[in-house]
């Protein structure tokens, strides 16, 4: 049944996004510690300290925009790949039932991300990435829209 592949593609996108978000925030945490060490160590030249400071200032914006870019591209990729799958309309009901699992995984992964980012150590770093935080806070409604677009792309094809 190829409609199961469409739902699995959606779950794969969710897992990739959550992992990317968590790794980005943990990376910012580590980079903050590293940058503090570089700035306080007098053995580094002022040029090295300036480069480290410049990279540190750019990191949150870069990762935030990269997350948004990855989110949009993964959604487009999933829709295109699902459109290329051959499916029979009889599997529509099964696909809708599988979407419930997709939505459940979106809730669970969103809660995992939210729990990690609400930790007192991570919340300051997560707040520096507003686009990522917004997407992950609204992952269920975004997943519902994406899921129904996937179903439409899977079953509403021109057959000739």
Local structure of 118: helix, strand or coil: coil
pLDDT tens string 65-78: 999 999 999 889 88
Calculate mean pLDDT across residues 134-149: 91
Q: Give pLDDT, residue 141.
A: 94
Can you give the three-state secondary structure of 14-63, one letter per residue? HHHHHHHHHHHHHHHHHHHHHHHHHHHCCCCCHHHHHHHHHHHHHHHHHH
Within 13 Å and on the Cβ side, how many CA atoms surround 7? 20
Q: Give pLDDT, residue 131.
A: 94
* Position 35 confidence tier, pLDDT thresholds 50, 70, 90: very high
- What stretch of H or E contains 93? helix 92-117
- What stretch of H or E contains 138? none
Domain coordinates of the chain in residue numbers? Answer: 3-155
At 118, phi and psi to the nearest 5? -85, -5
Least confident of 58-62, 126-130, 151-155: 151-155
pLDDT tens string 90-135: 777 888 888 888 899 899 999 999 998 888 888 888 889 999 999 9
89 against 3, higher pLDDT: 89
* Position 3 confidence tier, pLDDT thresholds 50, 70, 90: low
CA–CA distance from 48 to each of 27, 41, 44, 62 (Å)? 20, 11, 6, 20
* Position 5 confidence tier, pLDDT thresholds 50, 70, 90: low
| pTM, 2 dp | 0.84
């Amino acid at each position: 049944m190829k409609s199961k592949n469409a739902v699995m593609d959606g779950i794969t996108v969710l897992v990739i996004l959550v992992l990317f978000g968590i790794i980005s925030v943990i990376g910012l945490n580590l980079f903050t510690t590293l940058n503090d060490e570089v700035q306080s160590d007098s053995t580094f030249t002022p040029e090295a300290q300036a480069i480290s400071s410049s990279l540190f200032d750019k990191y949150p914006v870069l990762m935030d925009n990269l997350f948004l870019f990855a989110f949009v591209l993964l959604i487009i990729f999933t829709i295109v790949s699902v459109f290329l799958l051959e499916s029979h309309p009889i599997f529509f009901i099964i696909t809708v039932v599988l979407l419930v699992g997709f939505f459940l995984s979106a809730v669970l992964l969103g809660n995992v991300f939210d729990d990690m980012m609400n930790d007192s150590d991570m919340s300051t770093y997560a707040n520096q990435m507003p686009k990522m935080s917004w997407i992950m806070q609204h992952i269920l409604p975004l997943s519902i829209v994406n899921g129904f677009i996937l179903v439409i792309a899977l079953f509403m094809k021109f057959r000739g």
